[in-house]
Amino acid sequence: MTVSRINSEGLFEILGPVQVPGVARGEGDLAPSLSPAYILKRDLGSGTVRYAVILGEGLGRRGLMDLLYALAPYKSHGPDCFARVLDNWRLHDRALTSSGSENLLRQHADSLKLSWQVFTSHRDVFVEVFEDETESTRVVPVITWEKGQNAARGWNLDVLDNTFVSFIQGSIPMFKQRDGSGLRMDSLVGLISIPYFLPKLHRNWRPWQSLVRNGKSNYVGPASVPVVALMHRRAILNSRIILAAEELAFET
């Protein structure tokens, strides 16, 4: 284990490389792309600890689609419906010039509240990766949360700041050896990766549902996975991946 300084306020301890905590080796077709893992831990004082788990070297367009499709396999379109998924995610852009799209966007925001707000703040990363057919733009899943003195956990789903990203790129060997110009790191992709590894967490997600209050039910496909995962974020937060990461970090 190495200990590295991120800024003048504190230290992140880095443990790794390790296999994904709480997951059997080789579990899931994307396992090679989402490994090895690195566990970061930082004491914030007053009994609060911040954790992060870095998963693999990054997913390109194909890998990100496979991750989303594994959680919501919309078989009538198949796993190559990149254009259709992008069209769904571009609702925000159409809302700038279309009153109908603006109204639909507002309905999503009113119905989904925090889940929609968080997805909106991360949407650009998903779009950038899907638009790049060369696979040069890649996103690294980063699971981030905090645990307080009373053992209560809370997600940290903010967009990762440049200081933290630079620290990871400069501290973890597999990133130090690569050109980081096309690399993104994202905490929402990190959250989504947990139910991928632990199928029980998404087994009961409804394949047909309305994401808009009083709207018609639609088949939930890859485009909806970020929001649906956020709707189940409490169950995901208490999963065995989180518990195993904390245990490994505590042992060190």
SS3 category, 41: strand
What are the pLDDT tens digits along the chain (252 aa)? 454 544 445 578 899 889 999 987 655 667 778 889 999 999 998 999 999 999 998 999 999 999 999 998 876 667 888 998 998 888 876 777 788 777 866 886 778 899 989 999 999 999 999 999 999 999 999 999 999 988 899 999 999 999 899 889 888 888 887 777 889 999 999 999 999 999 999 988 877 566 666 555 566 689 989 999 999 999 999 999 999 999 998 776
What pLDDT does 211 receive? 65
What residue type is 203 in one-letter code?
R
Residue 189 C-beta-side C-alpha neighbours within 13 Å: 30
Domain residues for 67? 2-251
What pLDDT does 205 receive? 87
The CA–CA distances, whole Å, from 239 to 41, 76, 118, 196 equal 18, 31, 20, 12
What pLDDT does 27 receive? 59
Q: How many CB atoms lie within 10 A of CB 65?
A: 19
Q: How far apart, in whole angstroms, are the C-alpha atoms of residue 108 and residue 102?
A: 10
Number of domains in the chain: 1
